[in-house]
Structure 1
Amino acid sequence: MEVVFLGTSGSVPTPERGLPAVAVRRGGELLLFDCGEGTQRQMMRAKVG
């Protein structure tokens, strides 16, 4: 299992931190939790999905 924090900011993003989002890889599954705005961009930066 792998946990990737895609964003850890509060309700307002900062230049360094995106809105909250967490990806969990388990086997062949990718689970997303608390996906804030900009999660797709953060996934590309983290090479997730």
Structure 2
Amino acid sequence: FGEPLTTGELLALGNPSGKMGAIIDQARQVLAIHTASAGCLADEN
């Protein structure tokens, strides 16, 4: 992935215990993208 780091990822780099937060942030972003994509597909049909 060549995307810029999220705030959660930057925090995780300086704080290993914050890695779970970064993973959760990433999951939320992916979920939001999938939700938006599904909504667009539903609108087209």
Shared topology, TM-score over 0.5? no
TM-score normalised per structure 2? 0.30
Choose between structure 1 and 2: higher strand proportion: 1
Higher relative contact order (CA 8 A, sep 6+): 1
Query: Over alpha carbons, which structure has the higher Rg?
Result: 2
